[in-house]
Amino acid sequence: MSTTEPIIPTLGLPGGDGLNIAALVGLFRHTTNSYKFVFFLALLDLLQRHRFDPDRLYTFAEITVEMLTLAWFAHTYFKLSFGAQDTIAKKLDALDLGLRDSQNLAAHDLQTLRAALAASELKDAARLMDFVPYRLLIPFLEPQLRGVDKGAWMVFENAMPAITNAHFLTARPLYRFDSDDYRRCAGIFMHPDWATYLETNYPIIRGWAAWHWLQYMQRRNPATPAIASKLFPPAKRDSLARQTKYWRAILAHPERPELRCIYCGEVLTAERFALDHYLPWSFVVHDQLWNLIPAPAVVNSAKSNRLPSADYFRAFVELQHQGLLIARQSLSEGQFGKFTEDYLADLHLASPEALLDRERLTRAYEQTIGPLITLATNQGFSPDWQYAR
């Protein structure tokens, strides 16, 4: 499993020197879109990168870029839905970043994505700052907001900077604004006590916020596999050394039949091949052998994260079946069992012998691949890919 952002169901949060922890716990109650989750997580990321400096101005512009950076992976790469009323996805789609969907997956490439976003026309995306920073503070200022109509669009937002700043030292909200005038607000300053609290408890707070975002996203993507692995960029993709060893042993077997790439027809050899995820990694988020087949590197690169045409299905199952037959001959029973345990679990087959039966294997793949292809297509993955020389 790839290394992903830790997501833990923390029900309570640590106390903090008289801080209103109950307000923090209530931050995401009655949330109907992703804005608060993404804003708070983006703010945490900025605070960590700048050592939780309470004297630094965290500008709305950089918070917007951080929010879009965070949302880019879930929406653009992993094709998750943010909800019908959520506009973050639309704001991302409107940007021309000049990036392929498969780029900037690793965490160490985040800087490239941030730079592309910062260089884009963010006027529309910046509208997120018209309301999110002000609405987020409501739990911290409930007594001070009595009599203020929270449902009045822009009336509430216009009142918030002055109210927040006037009670900053006494009510101790998370942050204050750089101006009392809503029209001049361009960023926030963290309350020193909250900056210290968040720094001290960063892993817990990050996990707590991520868990709440996970619950939100699961409700909007109920049938999507591996949601928890799709909210944040993995630190790195796992090595395919084990899977490469498996297929290299098959392709190097002296008595094997001729095996060809299912996409281009080229003869496969043990010396030169790449491993293709038949269903894109960005959809399944795993490297199980039942979804991996050898292919020339140029073909694998051309396919990228597209869904293969149904025309390739029979050839895919046949190549998998041939590989399993050869592996059963060349591996010990224990080795074969270890390599095929994921086949049995994910294809819902009862025994290793079932894998060697072409008809049973085909039926198992039909029952597994078909629904997943339909779901991935509905999520926005490009379907019906065919290799063009």
The most distant pair of C-alpha atoms in the chain lies apart, rounded to whole Å, by 83
pLDDT of residue 102: 47
Query: What three-state secondary structure class fits 184?
Result: helix
User: What are the average pLDDT values for consecutive 10-residue runs of the chain, which has 389 residues?
Assistant: 41 81 91 92 95 97 93 88 86 76 52 84 87 95 92 88 97 98 97 95 88 92 88 76 95 94 97 95 90 96 94 97 95 90 91 93 94 88 93
> Up-side HSE of residue 276: CA atoms within 13 Å toward CB?
28
Q: CA angle at residue 217 from 212 to 221, to 5 degrees?
A: 150
pLDDT at 7: 43
Q: Say if residues 27 and 36 touch (Cβ distance below 8 Å).
A: yes
Q: How far is it, in rounded angstroms, from Cα 153 to Cα 181?
A: 16
pTM of the model: 0.76
**Predicted pLDDT of residue 98:** 67
Position 1 scores a pLDDT of 36
Side chain identity at residue 239, one-letter code: S
For tokens 């669009």, what's the residue?
153
**Residue 123 confidence (pLDDT):** 85
pLDDT score, position 10: 38
Alpha helix locations (H) across the chain? 21-25, 35-49, 60-72, 88-93, 110-118, 132-135, 155-166, 192-200, 202-220, 241-251, 281-284, 297-303, 313-330, 333-347, 352-355, 358-379
Strand partners, 260: 267
Could you please report the per-residue DSSP string of 248-305?
A: HHHHT-TTPPP-B-TTT-PBP-SSS-EEEESS-HHHH----GGGEEEE-HHHHHHHTT
Q: What confidence score (pLDDT) does residue 162 get?
A: 97
**Which residue in 62, 73, 151, 157 sits closest to 107, CA to CA?**
73
Burial class (CB in 10 A: 0-12, 13-18, 19+), 270: middle
The one-letter amino acid code at 59 reads: T
- Structure-block tokens of residue 327: 């592996």
Give the per-residue pLDDT at 13.
Answer: 83
Q: What is the pLDDT of residue 238?
A: 76
